[in-house]
A = this chain, B = another copy of it.
Amino acid sequence: MTFIETLAAAWTRNDSLLCVGLDPDPAKFPAALAGRDEAIFEFCRDIVDAAADLVCAFKPQIAHFAAHRAEDQLEALIAHIHAAHPDIPVILDAKRGDIGSTAERYALEAFARYRADAVTVNPYLGRDSLEPYLAWRDKGVILLCRTSNPGGGDLQTLDVGGGEKLFERVARLAVRWNASGQCALVVGATFPADLARARDLAGDMPILVPGIGAQGGDIAATVKAGMTQTGAGLIISSSRAILYAGKGEDYAQAARRTAEGMRNAINDQRIAAGRRAEN
């Protein structure tokens, strides 16, 4: 199965558009993990095992491993997800962007070394910078489109002609470059109107929406603006609000409860929009 097929199956099986972002920060780990050699792996593994039936994807963020010299723990984590939860795709959040033989190396890093099902990439270098990833036909390639940070508009909302914004051009190019059906987009939740615009342009292409907190308002606006006609199409990612929901020994169960609340809040919005039957 390809990444897109695995994702679609997980949407249905777990009745969930929720993705858990795995951004481990040892400074926030519960005391029980202090000083353990494999604390990063163990923490993420416990979260993964507690939430696997509630999500459509897991999204480890590579910088949070690399800053701690923990590439081996990232390898072990993704291997664990594939072994224990083979129906849940893994998105490696790396936002790579380079050309030629270097992009080939980054694709090897993501897909051969880490065995990710999809990787996030930066579109600034254009189409040929994506080809080494697209050459892996069963993998997903998720292009940054509109980010939610304050500086996201420095380039992304520039008018590139006739009122078209740069992020809109990226969405259009992604559709054009997606002949093999492997692409998805990253659009932050901060600007629902831009998410709606990206959805209009991208058809049924999956959209990864990072940065959702525990607030229902974020979720409502995101679902309304971003879901497809069939009530799916979104990978709504939350990291810290889930990972650090509890500070005690029950951190994994606290994470599960928060993830379940978010999954259900998302589904309530799908039901409200009439795009998903009430269970």
A residues at B contact (CB < 8 Å): 23, 25, 61, 63-64, 66-67, 69, 71, 95-103, 105-106, 108-109, 112-113, 122-130, 144, 147-156, 158-161, 166, 169-170, 173
Contact = CB atoms under 8 A, between A and B. Distances in A.
A99 B97 CA distance: 15
Contacts of A144: 97, 124-125
A23 to B, nearest CB: 7
A153 B126 contact: yes
A22 to B, nearest CB: 12
A159 B156 contact: no
A270 B165 CA distance: 41
A149 B23 contact: no
Q: Which 7 A-B pairs have the closest CB atoms?
A: A126-B151, A126-B154, A63-B105, A128-B151, A127-B151, A67-B105, A67-B108
Contacts of A170: 155
Contacts of A147: 99, 124-126
A122 B99 CA distance: 13
A217 B210 CA distance: 46
Contact of A154 (B69, B71, B102, B127): B127
A61 B122 contact: no
Given A101-B25, A149-B125, A166 B158 contact: yes
Contact of A129 (B69, B98, B151): B151
A149 B99 contact: yes
Nearest to A158: B160
A211 to B, nearest CB: 9
Contacts of A128: 149-151
A61 B102 contact: yes
A158 B162 CA distance: 12
Contact of A122 (B108, B124, B151, B166): B124
18 contacts: A23-B101, A63-B103, A63-B109, A66-B105, A69-B71, A95-B122, A97-B144, A99-B148, A99-B149, A99-B151, A125-B147, A125-B151, A126-B147, A126-B154, A127-B150, A128-B149, A128-B150, A159-B160
A52 to B, nearest CB: 24
Nearest to A144: B124
Nearest to A64: B105
Given A64-B102, A95-B97, A126-B155, 7 more contacts: A63-B102, A63-B106, A63-B109, A67-B109, A97-B124, A155-B169, A166-B166
A41 B69 CA distance: 18
For A97, A98, A153, the residue with the greatest tally of chain B CB atoms inside 10 Å of its CB is A98
A169 to B, nearest CB: 7
